[in-house]
């Protein structure tokens, strides 16, 4: 029998990169998976076809869409909030609307999605948010707003772990370091700079982040909650 057979999972933001790797991993491990997408219809359809997971359009900037997608999934055993954007640059010139959009996706949707998932979640369920090592360390200019959105997830999981712990629901944040995706390609112009502050001087891969998520979703992680799970090649060491 597969690890997650009989379990239902919802991944918010599963069409590309780390989210797609999580959809693949949880599906492979036997979960019945739904995932959301916003802009990448073709990529979402490919992942759905490949994994058998169900793809649902829900833009994370729209609270009612996230609440609806979560509610419609019914009782979810494993809720993963992965959707995120990175708006980086000089805070004096960044477009405030872009920053607010990032806050909407990275913080507001994560909070409302997690709370909605917890409503019908069976005892022993799992809530996993994808944060960033930049919540711990901001060694470069231009990352204040992005890092702020990810450090918000730290107190979110600490608090929600207390709120839902009586039902043995665990709430954690996984904090990747530089990971090879569309958002942060391993051959991108900033790669050498990022590697310069890492102990292991290379990008991580989405599949390793997905493996960490699968561990947290599993039985052996039942005592881990309200905690930061960093997988960053020593970026924050």
Active-site annotation holder among 35, 37, 81, 146: 146
Helix (H, G, I), strand (E, B) or coil at 204: strand
User: How near is the Cβ of 237 to ligand NDP at its closest, in Å?
Assistant: 16
Contact 116, 67 (CB under 8 A): yes
Token reading at 72: 């419609």
Query: Alpha-carbon distance 215 to 209, whole Å?
Result: 10
Q: What is the DSSP string of 132-174?
A: -GGGT---STT-HHHHHHHHHHHHHHHHHHHHHGGGT-EEEEE
Q: List Cβ neighbours of 42 (8 Å cut-off, separation of 6 or more).
A: none
Residue 117's alpha-carbon distances to 14, 38, 148, in angstroms, are 16, 19, 24
User: How near is the Cβ of 145 to ligand NDP at its closest, in Å?
Assistant: 12
Catalytic residue status for 111: no
Token reading at 52: 């058998």
Query: Alpha-carbon distance 179 to 203, whole Å?
Result: 5
Applying CB under 6 A, does 233 fall inside the site for ligand NDP? Answer: no
Query: Alpha-carbon distance 138 to 194, whole Å?
Result: 11
Applying CB under 6 A, does 82 fall inside the site for ligand NDP? Answer: yes
Applying CB under 6 A, does 59 fall inside the site for ligand NDP? Answer: yes
User: How near is the Cβ of 191 to ligand NDP at its closest, in Å?
Assistant: 10
Element (H, E) at 36: strand 32-37
Among residue numbers 135 through 194, which ones bind ligand NDP (CB under 6 A)? 176, 178-179, 181-184
Specify the residue, 57 or 162, whose C-beta has the smaller distance to ligand NDP.
57
Binder among 38, 56, 99, 127 for ligand NDP (CB under 6 A): 38
Binder among 36, 151, 172, 230 for ligand NDP (CB under 6 A): 36
Specify the residue, 1 or 42, whose C-beta has the smaller distance to ligand NDP.
42
Residue window 60-79: x/- pattern of binding to ligand NDP, with contact defined by CB under 6 A: xx------------------
Element (H, E) at 8: strand 8-12
Among residue numbers 107 through 146, which ones bind ligand NDP (CB under 6 A)? 130, 132
Residues contributing to the site for ligand NDP (CB under 6 A): 13-19, 36-40, 44, 59-61, 82-86, 105, 130, 132, 176, 178-179, 181-184
Catalytic annotation, residues: 146
């Amino acid at each position: 029998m597969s690890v997650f057979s009989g379990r239902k999972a919802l991944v918010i933001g599963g069409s590309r990169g780390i989210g797609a790797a999580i959809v693949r991993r949880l599906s492979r491990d036997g979960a019945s998976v739904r995932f959301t997408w916003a802009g990448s219809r073709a990529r979402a359809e490919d992942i759905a076809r490949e994994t058998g997971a169900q793809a649902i359009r829900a833009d994370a900037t729209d609270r009612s869409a996230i609440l609806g997608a979560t509610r419609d999934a019914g009782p979810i055993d494993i809720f993963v909030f992965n959707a995120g954007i990175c708006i980086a640059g000089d805070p004096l010139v960044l477009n405030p609307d872009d920053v607010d959009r990032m806050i909407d996706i990275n913080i507001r949707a994560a909070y409302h999605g997690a709370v909605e998932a917890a409503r019908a979640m069976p005892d022993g369920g799992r809530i996993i948010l994808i944060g960033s090592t930049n919540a711990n360390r901001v060694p470069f200019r231009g990352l204040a707003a992005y890092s702020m959105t990810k450090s918000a997830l730290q107190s979110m999981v600490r608090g929600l772990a207390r709120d839902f712990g009586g039902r043995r629901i665990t709430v954690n944040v996984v904090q990747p370091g530089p990971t090879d995706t569309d958002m942060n390609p391993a051959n991108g112009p900033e790669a050498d700079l990022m590697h310069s502050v890492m102990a292991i001087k290379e990008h991580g891969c989405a599949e390793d982040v997905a493996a960490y998520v699968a561990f947290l979703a599993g039985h052996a992680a039942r005592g881990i909650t309200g905690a930061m799970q960093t997988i960053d090649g020593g970026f924050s060491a």
